[in-house]
Amino acid sequence: MLDTTTQPRSVGLPTAPRYAGWIGRAASSGLYRNTIGLLVDSRRVRLAVLAGVPLLWIAMLHIGPILQMANISLLANYPPQPDKSSEYTLANYGLFFSDRLYFVPFVRSLVFAAVVTISTLVIVYPVAYYVAKVVQPKNRMRALLLLLIPFWAGELIRTFSVIMLLANRGALNVLLREFGFIDRPIPMLYTFFSLSFGVIYLLALYMLLPLYSAIEKIPTPLIQAAADLGAGPFQRFRRVILPLSKDGIVSGCSLVYLTAVGVFAAPLLLGGPNSVIFPEVIATLFHGSNDKWPEGAAFSMIMLVVSLTTVGLFMRIVGGRSVRLM
């Protein structure tokens, strides 16, 4: 019979206390028992400790900033002058509807986000399906990892890297000219094309992961059963795979849409004068030489409400149960 002390694991180690570690010793000490030990005995104290910090945090930093933004969006002047009472007004919202300069980029932003979302879905769906159902299970993580690698680089670096491809003397134009397809470079950068290209590049992951996990959950025998009952590839896709991956489509589209609506770095680097979208408009109201915070706050509120409502309606109509974030 073996003695536990001669186990290979403990060879060469000093016979330090394997048992009675610091937590055990601390917990059994009189000091602990008479302080924290007494406190956690009370259900009320436990509940207060458990709920206090989270509720305070959520109220202060998750809800507070948005409420304050809503508040400021209704102020006539900000920051309030000490001698004047701050008046509430709807003028900041009125400005939005009265000026094409603000209204057009807003609509453009919504359309842009919708186009990006649909394009991403169409591009990513076959890829997600391939990884989830065609690739052998043992290679699946590797196949997914290859797609994840670019996403560990940050938003800015990925946006920047798109310039390498699309610039006038970027890889694509140089290649096209080498082969004699074009004489002069096609101006691709600083257009809607480069902006969409970059944003899809940024957000594909948000579509890929929910789609992948939804498709992976579809039992393969179900697809085989459909084939056995005479459904061709298209029928199988339309009547079995597509409905069963609805959850993934809903969460993927919601995430991509919400991010695309508020995308900020990409238009700064890839967009041009003809592709000004709403986030840039809002940003100038905060960062411009004469900042107009109440107007900016009002515009932000409009964007927040409209984008969340759009996604909410989309989820209700398509009928996904809820957005799963991961």
Partner 1 sequence: MQPVVHFKNVNKSYGALTAVDDLDLAIEPGQFVTLLGPSGCGKSTTLRMLGGFDSPTSGEIYLEGKPISHLPPNKRNVNIVFQDYALFPHLTVGRNIAFGLELKGMQHAAIHKRVTGLLSLVSLQDHAERMPAQLSGGQRQRVALMRALAPDPNVLLLDEPLSALDAKLRQQMQIELKSIQQKTGKTFIFVTHDQEEALTMSDVIVVMNKGRIEQMGGPDELYARPRSRFVADFIGQSNFLEGAVVSVSDGIAAVEWRGNVVHADVNGTSPVPGERATLALRPEALYCLSSKPEGRPALKGRVDQRVFKGAHTTLTVALENGSSLLVQIDPVALSHIEGDDVWVGWRDRDAVLLAN
Partner 2 sequence: MRTYFNDLPKTALGASYWIFAVYLVLPLTLMTAMSFKDANFIAFPIGNWTLSWYAKVVQDKQFLEASLYSIGIALATTVSATIIGVWIALLVSAENIWGKAVIFALACLPAVVPGLINAISMRIFIRTVDIPTGTFAIILAHTVHAVPFVVIMVLTRLRSMPANLVDAARDLGADPFIAFLRVTIPYLMPALFGGMIFCVLTSIDDFVRTFFLGGYQPTLPMLIFAKVQGGMSPEINAMATIVLVVTTAIGIYAEHFTRRSRS
Applying CB under 8 A, which residues contact partner 1?
A: 1-4, 7, 9-10, 17-21, 23-25, 27-29, 41
Q: Which is nearer to partner 2, 233 or 273 (CB)?
A: 233
69 binds, among partner 2, partner 1, none (CB under 5 to 8 A by kind): partner 2
* Nearest distance from C-beta of residue 256 to partner 2, angstroms: 12
* Nearest distance from C-beta of residue 6 to partner 2, angstroms: 27
* Nearest distance from C-beta of residue 1 to partner 1, angstroms: 6
17 binds, among partner 1, partner 2, none (CB under 5 to 8 A by kind): partner 1
Q: Which is nearer to partner 1, 23 or 145 (CB)?
A: 23
* CA–CA distance, 84 with 154 (Å, rounded to integer): 45
State how far the alpha carbon of 127 is from the alpha carbons of 23, 92, 208, 253, in Å.
49, 45, 8, 15
270 binds, among partner 1, partner 2, none (CB under 5 to 8 A by kind): none
Q: Which is nearer to partner 2, 13 or 145 (CB)?
A: 145
* CA–CA distance, 197 with 267 (Å, rounded to integer): 11
Asked if residues 93 and 102 have their Cβ atoms less than 8 Å apart, the reply is: no
* Nearest distance from C-beta of residue 28 to partner 1, angstroms: 3
**Is residue 79 reached through a cis peptide bond, with omega within 30 degrees of 0 on the bond before it?**
yes
DSSP reduced 3-state for 88: strand
* Nearest distance from C-beta of residue 99 to partner 2, angstroms: 20
Output the six-digit token pair for 318.
Answer: 């398509």
Q: Which is nearer to partner 2, 91 or 147 (CB)?
A: 147
* CA–CA distance, 246 with 82 (Å, rounded to integer): 55
18 binds, among partner 2, partner 1, none (CB under 5 to 8 A by kind): partner 1
9 binds, among partner 1, partner 2, none (CB under 5 to 8 A by kind): partner 1
* CA–CA distance, 112 with 115 (Å, rounded to integer): 5
DSSP reduced 3-state for 75: strand
Cα angle 286, 290, 293 (rounded to 5 degrees) comes to: 40
Q: Which is nearer to partner 2, 275 or 300 (CB)?
A: 300
